[in-house]
Structure 1
Amino acid sequence: MFYLSLLWDYFKNYAKTKLTYRADFWIEVLSDLSFQAVNLIFILVVFQHTPSLGGWSEAEVVFVYGFFMVPYGIFGTFFSLWNFSERYIVKGEMDRVLTRPAHNWFQVLLENMDPPSLIGSAAGAIIMAVCWGRLGLPLEFWDIPVLLLLILSAVLVYAGLYTALTAISFYSDAPTGILPLMFNIQNYGRYPVNIYNKAIRFLLTWLIPFAFVGVIPASYFLDHKGDGLSSLALVTPIVGVVFFTIGLLVWNHGVKRYRGAGS
């Protein structure tokens, strides 16, 4: 309850700030939607030149992209750590965070909440619903709970990976540039992994498992048994928990190494 109350208090402070500068809020929302729209248009343009992509139809790939958007929007809302190194390490704000009673990781997340990113999740859900109808997919009573579980698991994959990568700042005296690289790599997870060579497929599935934030969990509903992805979909919760745990362990170990802004 303590952490839930903190979440609510931070959200209210965020809302008060954005109500003061409403134009900034809507510009941020439109910017995010525009970025997602460009990616979607790119997929549609690709299918103007080919009937399928690695055995996947246009509606199936768009469905995967819609699924990809949902956990990404949740991740962007609650796990926005893009400027951690510059703000908390270089400028020394981590010292302030460590003097407070709540866990430092949770405080950093709350201070960087970005609720407009949830608009992307809503857009992704709409895209999935439209493609679901176009593909004529059956809707069983267990599909909704499984969908929510897979989305949560994908968020944990995101959170674990980016928490671990952000924690590298504790081990380095200079800001790390690895987060932009990971941001670009994650986009490969929204396409069928069978279109890549074996090395990239292994990388995206087991080492940097961005395939588990998009194509693999989405394939559960598309029933792509021929490429084995639908059978891997139910492994997503395990991958999410494992990588989330690793991320927190790396973070906590990094905090123990932190000696303050003057060190």
Structure 2
Amino acid sequence: MFHISIFFQYASQYLKTRLTYRVDTVVEILSDFMFQAVNLLFILVVFGHTTLLSGWNREEIIFIYGFFLVPYAIFTAFFNIWDFNDRYIVKGEMDRILTRPIHSLFQIIIERMELESLFGVITGMIIMIYAGTNLGLSFAWYDYFIFIAMVIGGAFIYAGIFISIATIGFWSDSKTDIMPMMYNIGNYGRYPVDIYNSVIRFVLTWILPFAFVGVYPAAYFLQREEWYVYAFLTPFMGIIFLLISIVLWNAGVKRYRGAGN
């Protein structure tokens, strides 16, 4: 309850800050929307030259993309740690974090949240509804609970991967360029893995499991039975990768030497 209370206090202060600069907030939301629109346009352009992509039609690809946006939006809203190495290690702000009476990772998460990114959930839902309507998809009452579990699992996978990468900073004081590269690799999870070769499919499934953020869980709702096993693994993969990242984080904090000489 203490951590929940702290979270909502931070969220309240964050919203007050963002509402002070309403125009900037609106512009940022619109720019995110335009970015997603460009990605959607790319899919439409691709299917302007073909009807199927490795057995997937246009509406199915659009549905996968819409699903991907939901856990990705949650990740970007609550796990905004892309600049951890530069801000907290190189500039020494980790020293401040370690003086607080709550877990250091939780502290960084709540002070770096970007709640406006949650609008990506709405965008993703709209895209899924559009594609699902065109595909004539129907859902049982329990599918909504499965959807929530898979979305949380996908967000945890992203969080686990990027928290693990952030922990490199505890062992290396210099800046690294791994974060931007990993964000680019994560985009491969927006598309069906069977359009890639076997090596990339293996990496996206078991090493950097971005496929569990988009195509695998979405395949369940698209009634692609051959992917059901992978789809139901999504929540478990999320928990596993998040726990791994926390273990690495705790080990890294013990290794942290501080900002002094």
TM-score, shorter chain, exceeding 0.5: yes
CA offsets, 1:182-224, max 9 Å, x none? 1000000010000000000001011000000000000011122
CA distance, structure 2, for counterparts of residue 187 and residue 60 of structure 1 = 17
CA distance, structure 1, for counterparts of residue 87 and residue 153 of structure 2 = 29
CA offsets, 1:116-163, max 9 Å, x none? 110111110111112111111121111100111100110110111111
CA distance, structure 2, for counterparts of residue 176 and residue 105 of structure 1 = 20
CA distance, structure 1, for counterparts of residue 191 and residue 228 of structure 2 = 14
Q: What does 1:189-208 correspond to in 2, within 5 Å?
A: 189-208=189-208
Other-structure match for 1:18: 18
Other-structure match for 1:185: 185
CA distance, structure 2, for counterparts of residue 190 and residue 163 of structure 1 = 21
Larger mean Cα displacement after TM superposition, 237-246 or 181-190: 237-246
Indicate yes or no: 2:82 matched with 1:82: yes
Other-structure match for 2:260: 262
CA distance, structure 2, for counterparts of residue 183 and residue 131 of structure 1 = 25
CA distance, structure 1, for counterparts of residue 229 and residue 112 of structure 2 = 36
Indicate if the aligned counterparts of 2:73 and 2:120 stay in contact, CA closer than 8 A: yes
| Distance apart, 1:250 and its partner CA | 0.8
CA distance, structure 2, for counterparts of residue 251 and residue 99 of structure 1 = 16
Equivalent residue letter for 1:31: S
| Distance apart, 1:19 and its partner CA | 1.8
| Distance apart, 1:231 and its partner CA | 2.7
CA distance, structure 1, for counterparts of residue 153 and residue 173 of structure 2 = 33
| Distance apart, 1:237 and its partner CA | 1.4
Other-structure match for 2:119: 119
| Distance apart, 1:20 and its partner CA | 1.7
CA distance, structure 2, for counterparts of residue 41 and residue 229 of structure 1 = 26
List structure 1 runs of 4+ shifted beyond 3 angstroms: none
Indicate if the aligned counterparts of 1:94 and 1:260 stay in contact, CA closer than 8 A: yes
CA distance, structure 1, for counterparts of residue 162 and residue 75 of structure 2 = 10
Equivalent residue letter for 2:100: R
Other-structure match for 2:240: 242
Indicate if the aligned counterparts of 2:154 and 2:234 stay in contact, CA closer than 8 A: yes
CA distance, structure 2, for counterparts of residue 232 and residue 16 of structure 1 = 41
Number of equivalenced pairs = 261
CA distance, structure 2, for counterparts of residue 3 and residue 28 of structure 1 = 29
Indicate if the aligned counterparts of 1:153 and 1:241 stay in contact, CA closer than 8 A: yes
Instruction: Report the secondary structure of 2:52's partner residue.
Output: coil
| Distance apart, 1:75 and its partner CA | 0.5
| Distance apart, 1:230 and its partner CA | 2.6
Indicate if the aligned counterparts of 1:220 and 1:231 stay in contact, CA closer than 8 A: no
Indicate if the aligned counterparts of 2:73 and 2:118 stay in contact, CA closer than 8 A: yes
Other-structure match for 2:57: 57
| Distance apart, 1:23 and its partner CA | 1.4
Indicate if the aligned counterparts of 2:188 and 2:210 stay in contact, CA closer than 8 A: yes
List runs of 5+ in structure 1 lacking aligned partners: none
Indicate if the aligned counterparts of 2:82 and 2:162 stay in contact, CA closer than 8 A: no
Other-structure match for 1:131: 131
CA distance, structure 1, for counterparts of residue 175 and residue 23 of structure 2 = 31
Q: TM-score when scaled to structure 1?
A: 0.97
CA distance, structure 1, for counterparts of residue 16 and residue 221 of structure 2 = 40
List runs of 5+ in structure 2 lacking aligned partners: none
| Distance apart, 1:36 and its partner CA | 0.8
CA distance, structure 1, for counterparts of residue 55 and residue 229 of structure 2 = 17
Equivalent residue letter for 1:243: F
CA offsets, 1:42-80, max 9 Å, x none? 001100000011100100000000000000000000000
CA distance, structure 2, for counterparts of residue 16 and residue 239 of structure 1 = 35
| Distance apart, 1:21 and its partner CA | 1.3
Q: TM-score when scaled to structure 2?
A: 0.98
Other-structure match for 1:251: 249
CA offsets, 1:158-193, max 9 Å, x none? 111111001111110201110101100000001000
Larger mean Cα displacement after TM superposition, 42-51 or 133-142: 133-142
Q: Percent identity?
A: 52
CA distance, structure 2, for counterparts of residue 147 and residue 16 of structure 1 = 31
